[in-house]
Amino acid sequence: MNVKNKIVLVTGAAKGIGLATVKRLLKKEAKVILWDFQADDLANTVQSLKNEGHDVFSQVCDVTNKQQVYANADIIRQEVGEVDILINNAGTVYTGYMLDRTDEELENMINVNFTSMIYTIRAFLPSMLDRNFGHVINISSASALVGAPKLAIYAATKWGVMGLTESLRLEAIKMGKKGVKFSSIHPNFIKKGLFRGTKLNFLGNILAPGIKDHDAVAKVIMNRAIRLGFHSPKVPWVMNQLTLLRALIPSSLLVKLGSLYGADNMMDKYKGYEDGR
């Protein structure tokens, strides 16, 4: 799809993968709508983009609040138009053993990473189906391909995102709406931002290297998902090995392989988001 003059909504757009994707969309002359729940971050990002000469539409939105999602969606339809591309990027993570986290933390992670997508998709998919045109892009993770210690609920949400995306694609096909596309994006951990401090050993960095920055994921979203329509691009490409390994070797051997390249300890020095974008 050519994004020029297309209306694109990006959630979690004030920083990270969301902001990197916004910048690439603007370079291709898309009409971009930014959602983020952090008002100050969103205001600073929008001002920075305007200083660069870009015209964007933005709304503060907590995507876990379905009333706010639906109300914002109505405003978009009235003031901007029908959304052509929805990029569900908002996400969060709490690391550590599942039993060491509170119910509230785990519930929030489920709501941000998975449940919120139900609301945003229900808000914008009907119009796409009516027009038989559109694209829903959901940010999943390499954690949807293989589990990892200290990421149990995070991985569960990302497996859910993958299943949701695939099933919606099949529903659209069954309804005869092949013009509506669905993609899930599966990046390995990024060395800055939300997963700062995540680290594999020497062998792991060869077999499953981390991603240097957010723009590497944004590039895949633009080129492999939007432009080429790939269903589930992996970032980097070598992460496709995980899908192949799951099909070819027993789960017990996959666990041992993960230990060999340091997956058991990858979250032990996790630091999380640093200042910056």
For the annotated catalytic residues, the residue numbers are 154
First to last CA, the chain: 28
Separation CA 117–CA 63 (nearest Å): 8
Give the alpha-carbon dihedral of 11, 161, 141, 43, to 10 degrees.
10
Q: List phi, psi (to 5°) of 185.
A: -105, 135
Give the alpha-carbon dihedral of 93, 97, 102, 105, to 10 degrees.
10
Closest CA to 144 of 155, 128, 133: 155
